[in-house]
Amino acid sequence: MQVLLNDLSLHGQFPSVPCFQKALQSIMCVRIKMRQFGRELYCHRNVAQAQVTHRLTMQQAVQQLNQDERRAVMGWLTQHGPFWEDECCHEPDDYLEYQGRVVTDTALGEAAFRCFNGSEYQLVSLVPSDWLFTPIPVIWHRDDITSIDVPNHCEISTLEIALHVASPSIQSWKQLASVVQSRCTNLTFAADSFEPLCGHPFVNSAAQRIVELLETLDKLKSCSDAQGQRTAEGQRVYQDHFTGKKTWFTDSSDKDKNEFKSELTFNHPANNGQTLFCAWHGKVNSPKIRIHFSWPISANESLYVVYIGPKITRR
C-alpha cells in the first residue's frame, strides 16, 4: 500500500497560520506513523507552493515554525520526499476527473490511475479542507469510461487500521526477491537476476515500484486466449504501459543496443551455453533501476527476467 498527500486539500482554506500549523502537525504525525510500518508518505515537490491562507503559500507559512520544525517540514517537501512525480505513471493527456473537475497531474489522479491498474494507493488529506470524505470516486475517460474509488484518510486512526491490514512492507532486496517470485508465477527469473541489487542501499519506494512493474509484466504474460493471442485485457495492459510518453516498459535505443550490446546480453536461464539479448526493460526512476526481460512476449514461451539492478546504459 502506498499513500500520497492529497495536494488538492491545500486550497487556501486556513483562516490563520496557527490553524494551518495545527493541520500540518497532524500530517507530520502521519509520516511518523507510516514509518513505524516501514512506509513513507509521498508528496509532490510543488506542494510547498500551494496556497494555505488567503495570502501565504505553504512554504511562507512554514517559515513561521521554529527552526527544527521548519527544517523537518521543508526537508521532506523539497529535498527528501519521496516524491510521487518521480515515478508518475499517468500522462498529462489522461483525462481523469472527479465530479466534472479534472484531477490529472494531481495526487488524486495518480492514485486513481494506479488503482485502475491494480495497485493499492490511498490518500491523506489535511483537515479542514474540501476533501473530508472517503472514498473519492474518480472517472477515467479513455476508450470507455471507467470509475474507481480512491480511499482517503482524514484521521490518523483510519490510516492506522489500513496499515495494519495492508501487506507487510518490504524491508530488503532479499525480501523483495522472495515476494515477487512468489507473486509473479508467470515469470521465469534467472538465478542471478536480483544479484545486481546487492551492495546497493535498500530503497523502499524503489522496491514497491519494482513489485508494481513485475506484477504488470506478470499480468501481460497471463493475458492470452486459447489460440495464444493477446486478450482484450492484455491489449489494454500493453497500450497503458508499453506505449505512450510515460511508458513503464520500453525497448533500448538503437544507439544503446550497439554501444551496450555485451552488457545487454545475458546467459540463458534455461539453456546452458546459450544467451539472450534483452534490450526491453521496465524503469524505476529514483534511483535509476532497470528490469531487463526477454522479448517478444509469447503465450507458448517463457518470459525470462534476467536482470534487476542499476541502469546498464549509463554514460
Do 196 and 290 share a domain, yes or no?
yes
Q: Count up the domains in the chain and report the number.
A: 2
Among 106, 133, 165, residue at a domain's last position:
165
- Residue 61 burial by Cβ neighbours in a 10 Å radius (0-12, 13-18, 19+): buried
Do 150 and 186 share a domain, yes or no?
no
Q: Within a domain: residue 235? A: yes
Q: Within a domain: residue 210? A: yes
| Domain with 145 in it | 2-165
Residue 73's pLDDT is what? 94
Q: Is the pLDDT of residue 52 over 90?
A: yes
Residue 293's pLDDT is what? 98
For the chain, what percent of residues have pLDDT higher than 90? 73
Q: Within a domain: residue 157? A: yes
Rg over alpha carbons for the chain, rounded to the nearest Å, is 21
Q: How far apart are CA 110 and CA 154, in angstroms?
A: 19
Q: How far apart are CA 37 and CA 1, in angstroms?
A: 11
Give the mean pLDDT of 127-133.
96
Among 165, 197, 229, residue at a domain's last position:
165
Residue 285's pLDDT is what? 87
Q: Within a domain: residue 315? A: no
Do 121 and 6 share a domain, yes or no?
yes
Contacting residues for 150 by C-beta, under 8 A, at least 6 apart: 108, 111, 112, 115, 121, 122, 123, 135, 136, 137, 138
Give the mean pLDDT of 263-273.
94
Q: Is the pLDDT of residue 151 over 90?
A: yes
Do 201 and 85 share a domain, yes or no?
no
Q: Within a domain: residue 287? A: yes
User: Any alpha helices (H) in the chain, and if so which ranges?
Assistant: 17-36, 58-62, 67-75, 107-116, 156-165, 173-183, 204-222, 232-241, 254-259
Which of 210-214, 237-241, 244-248 shows the lowest per-residue confidence on average (mean pLDDT)?
244-248
pLDDT in tens, 200-225: 999 888 998 999 999 999 999 999 88
Q: Is the pLDDT of residue 69 over 80?
A: yes
Do 30 and 78 share a domain, yes or no?
yes
Contacting residues for 29 by C-beta, under 8 A, at least 6 apart: 156
pLDDT band at residue 93 using 50, 70 and 90 as cut-offs: confident
pLDDT band at residue 300 using 50, 70 and 90 as cut-offs: confident
Q: Within a domain: residue 113? A: yes
- C-alpha cell at position 235: 491489449
Do 146 and 177 share a domain, yes or no?
no
- C-alpha cell at position 230: 493477446
- The sign of the CA dihedral 234, 240, 242, 244 is positive
Do 183 and 293 share a domain, yes or no?
yes
Do 276 and 294 meet the contact criterion of CB atoms below 8 Å apart? yes
pLDDT band at residue 166 using 50, 70 and 90 as cut-offs: confident
Do 209 and 250 share a domain, yes or no?
yes
- C-alpha cell at position 219: 499480468
Do 213 and 248 meet the contact criterion of CB atoms below 8 Å apart? yes
Among 136, 165, 194, residue at a domain's last position:
165
Do 138 and 21 share a domain, yes or no?
yes
Give the mean pLDDT of 63-67.
92
pLDDT winner (highest mean) among 143-152, 158-167, 267-276:
267-276
Do 159 and 182 share a domain, yes or no?
no
Which of 10-19, 93-102, 192-201, 231-240 shows the lowest per-residue confidence on average (mean pLDDT)?
231-240
Q: Is the pLDDT of residue 7 over 90?
A: yes
Do 153 and 181 share a domain, yes or no?
no
- The H-or-E segment that residue 2 falls in is strand 2-5
Q: What angle do CA 92, 95, 100 make, to 5 degrees?
A: 125
Residue 89's pLDDT is what? 79
Do 284 and 183 share a domain, yes or no?
yes
